[in-house]
Structure 1
């Protein structure tokens, strides 16, 4: 009976939430106290941010709170990361706003539910590992593109502009409409917005552990209430924030609606998977722990289904809140669960106060978030690194800004993959070493091996070619062209593949074409040092005995070739003697 390899985790181990792991390790009052403090810290950060993201997405502010409470609790309780904190994310603003505009809020909720089911399926199929292979220039490019779009979406709130019609969604028409409305700029709104930005910057510089977002929004609300400032607030636009969670409900469902929202659902699932795993990786780097990627995706999927049922937005793991959680001293997932509980308490107790929050202050929060998302230093570093990386970065960035986020990611991944294959193909080296099996006149007919010298010998008996690097379709053409330049074929050809870690069918087929040609010219072909996976791939393309002969090492192959060629060499020696 076959036994499972000791290092291979079982299904249960792969999908056991980190909460269970932490509780098994022993969880006491000291850990709970640390998690409670961290959860409170993250909740204070998430409170204004969740409402700001909801408003920027074209939804009422309470939808962001619903998301942070419901999805935030489930992501921490069921996820594969100790420190992941979930909720509405700035990266989703563009997709959520576009989905709401195309399908209405009910259609968007259906898309979010479908995205949740997709994430669960991706996790259960253990595809989370592949999401992490998206090239870094792609993630930087689409994140910077989203930052530009978020900042553009907040210009109206920052300057108090009044547009004649509905604000366009596309960037260029949006900027044209905002420029046309420049005469409606409101100095009071500008003062509140840029005052809030100044407060955030100063607090972060002077007191980096203080909740800069909440302080800025709180001061803006106090100033608006105390001075009676004529600026738009949550109360004047939305009528306030409810003080309870709604009852769960399913969105309207029909086959036509499912087909209509399917592309949006796929985009939400893709971005959710990428963002959550990136956040989990950041948490691992800060804490020295390791997350379970597929378990994390399943938790993200369940959380999104639940968030949509409560009327919330699309949720994912958020890097800023997760990093805050780690820095605040969290010991495990309980901190993220308590962050959701604290937000629920805030909403139950302080919901009426939210009516005084100026939208300009929330716009300031998102402007700072967009600035941080852009990662200007990293963006410039990639541009200077290489032309290939710069091409991937700029293509992703420009398509995200001027076309569509999904299109930007797709093109960026394709370009990044092509660049990777080109670089991997360049690593493949083919080196030739010719060895002459001849009769040593000074040693009574004993065969010896000497390095082949074209100027000193008239024929070759054994030729060794060493291939190093991954033998895949990207390298097939270059390897084939080098081998084809061999010239005269030897009597025995040895292909040393001991430095080939992997091979695919395309490269194996290319090798088969060359070997068939060599055999037609009378050469015996040996393959030396093939590891089992490479040998299986070659055999699958017909490179079996007697087409080729396998040897463990080049020395073994040479010895076998010498034995096979011995009669021919002796016959040639006899002829010369006669």
Structure 2
């Protein structure tokens, strides 16, 4: 395994840091902190944990990932993508085991970084990511309807059908006053001008206005104070982890789901940041930093964290240049806890529900016209992943979605692989490899393999053996072979043995550097004989003449 270089992006940026950059980072960090404050509380409450857990996570994870991460401008913290997963764990195993899951997921993320799996995002096709992101968005929206409508429900169930059934039976008990506040807040967030949003974020404005309205007019709405008793003022307390051996094995699957989603979200966030700034992130360093953050936050009652795309975009759009802006955002939130925590008790749950519904609407890609531009197979992957995420859970959706994408990819790769008989009328492309101007002697047949020779396409090779039984020499041209796997090597070896048993000769020519290296490592070159491995078609045809003239099988 290659050595992982632990080199946070912060170390690189501090070498040329100046006062002008500091001013930009300070303003961007404070703005991101204002955006993160309502989101952190809303994400925590929606996940079934106290609101301070979200703020503590934003402070600790935001600080550590900016300090140790591989991206200059990514901002981390609790995100909407985790809500459904966290809520399901809390309902099934309790908050104590959620903390264990978060720690275990952190360990997995660190291992991913150490094993150099930072390019894991490449293995997840965009239809799959769009499918489960839209599914998560729908589930977030459904879970917030209780507080949005002010329904008299103690807690929402975790299953899709159970949620829908409960809402269907209780929707007639909605509170008009709660609905008025939440609907007004949602409209304000969605219609807030983009020109103002950079300096004064819509969610923060909605939070302040709704809180002032409820407080000044003493409206009888559920608030953070009435449900949670407010937010404790002061630094988060350090707690130990209570490992429960009885449930430890049960927690592996949800912990892996958190780690997998955390890796995807954080790397997607870093890619978005690179596209906006022109920088290039260190994917493995980013995974290690995310892992360390998720290993630390459980000791302070936090929840899973990952890169937050909306906060990262806000950071960049407001002038954030280095990881210092992410550190400032974390320190700003810490300052809010130390100074203004008692004021959080007056925040109505209705406005937090409105903020989360706005997040759900914005995080999904709802333009169905794009589906018409996708190949039908990709559209099917998107639809199935979306449906499985909503109806079952993210783990099942990703597993089946990946399996479908892999099967469709194999089918496409196999379909693109062809074995064509070379004929004199074929157009000249490359002088060394073209059949044009060359003579194929009697008793010889030449083929060109194009595409990938792998486990899904070896039937093309098997068909060669009996296609021209009169041919004593068969040439396979490999210069357009883009990939060769073990199954393909075995198919070539089997073809060589089959032809040799019939007194016929197989000649390979034009293999590229990588393919030739595989032929040698697999000892196929030795098995066939060096004379039967030729650099191009010209020399292969010359050797074929020699074999046919001599009337023997060369080895």
State whether TM-score is above 0.5. Answer: yes
Structure 1 residue 328: Cα displacement: 1.0
1:35-46 matched pairs, under 5 angstroms: 35-46=25-36
- Kindly provide the CA deviation profile for residues 191-246 of structure 1, in whole angstroms up to 9, marking residues without a partner as x: 00010011112213563423100001110001000111111111111111112222
Structure 1 residue 357: Cα displacement: 0.8
Structure 1 residue 480: Cα displacement: 3.2
**Aligned counterparts of 1:383 and 1:234: Cα–Cα separation in 2:** 44
**Aligned counterparts of 2:494 and 2:522: Cα–Cα separation in 1:** 10
**Aligned counterparts of 1:525 and 1:207: Cα–Cα separation in 2:** 72
Aligned to 2:6: 15
Change (3 A) 1:328 1:166: closer
Could you tell me whether the CA contact under 8 Å between 1:132 and 1:278 is conserved in 2? no
Matched, 1:249 2:249: no
Matched, 1:554 2:554: no
Matched, 1:388 2:377: yes
Structure 1 residue 22: Cα displacement: 0.7
**Aligned counterparts of 1:323 and 1:150: Cα–Cα separation in 2:** 21
Report the 3-state secondary structure (helix = DSSP H, G, I; strand = E; otherwise coil) of the residue aligned with 2:421: strand
Matched, 1:493 2:482: no
**Aligned counterparts of 1:276 and 1:168: Cα–Cα separation in 2:** 28
Structure 1 residue 451: Cα displacement: 5.2
**Aligned counterparts of 1:284 and 1:485: Cα–Cα separation in 2:** 54
| Structure 1 residues not aligned, in runs of 5+ | 1-8, 436-448, 453-458, 570-578
Figure out how many residues of one structure are paired with residues of the other and give that number. Answer: 539
Matched, 1:428 2:428: no
Change (3 A) 1:17 1:530: same
**Aligned counterparts of 1:564 and 1:242: Cα–Cα separation in 2:** 88
Report the 3-state secondary structure (helix = DSSP H, G, I; strand = E; otherwise coil) of the residue aligned with 1:249: coil
Aligned to 2:514: 533
**Aligned counterparts of 1:257 and 1:34: Cα–Cα separation in 2:** 47
Aligned to 1:519: 500
**Aligned counterparts of 1:409 and 1:51: Cα–Cα separation in 2:** 28
Aligned to 2:490: 509
Aligned to 2:365: 375
Aligned to 2:431: none
1:279-298 matched pairs, under 5 angstroms: 279-298=269-288
**Aligned counterparts of 1:434 and 1:484: Cα–Cα separation in 2:** 18
Matched, 1:207 2:188: no
**Aligned counterparts of 1:292 and 1:55: Cα–Cα separation in 2:** 33
Aligned to 1:576: none
Of 325, 329, 334, the residue aligned with 1:339 is 329
Change (3 A) 1:320 1:534: same
Could you tell me whether the CA contact under 8 Å between 1:434 and 1:460 is conserved in 2? no
Change (3 A) 1:478 1:391: farther
Report the 3-state secondary structure (helix = DSSP H, G, I; strand = E; otherwise coil) of the residue aligned with 1:128: coil
Of 456, 462, 469, the residue aligned with 1:480 is 462
Change (3 A) 1:492 1:434: farther
Report the 3-state secondary structure (helix = DSSP H, G, I; strand = E; otherwise coil) of the residue aligned with 1:469: strand
Could you tell me whether the CA contact under 8 Å between 2:120 and 2:264 is conserved in 1? no
Structure 1 residue 538: Cα displacement: 3.4
Could you tell me whether the CA contact under 8 Å between 1:460 and 1:491 is conserved in 2? no
Matched, 1:238 2:228: yes
Report the 3-state secondary structure (helix = DSSP H, G, I; strand = E; otherwise coil) of the residue aligned with 1:530: coil
Could you tell me whether the CA contact under 8 Å between 1:137 and 1:382 is conserved in 2? no
Radius of gyration: which is bigger? 1
Report the 3-state secondary structure (helix = DSSP H, G, I; strand = E; otherwise coil) of the residue aligned with 1:468: strand
Structure 1 residue 251: Cα displacement: 1.6
Change (3 A) 1:169 1:254: closer
Matched, 1:106 2:96: yes
Aligned to 1:461: 443
Structure 1 residue 519: Cα displacement: 2.4
- Kindly provide the CA deviation profile for residues 479-536 of structure 1, in whole angstroms up to 9, marking residues without a partner as x: 433x246232422211111111321011111222223222233222111121233234
- Kindly provide the CA deviation profile for residues 302-335 of structure 1, in whole angstroms up to 9, marking residues without a partner as x: 0001111111010000111111111111111111
**Aligned counterparts of 1:186 and 1:82: Cα–Cα separation in 2:** 46
**Aligned counterparts of 1:502 and 1:537: Cα–Cα separation in 2:** 10
**Aligned counterparts of 1:55 and 1:259: Cα–Cα separation in 2:** 27
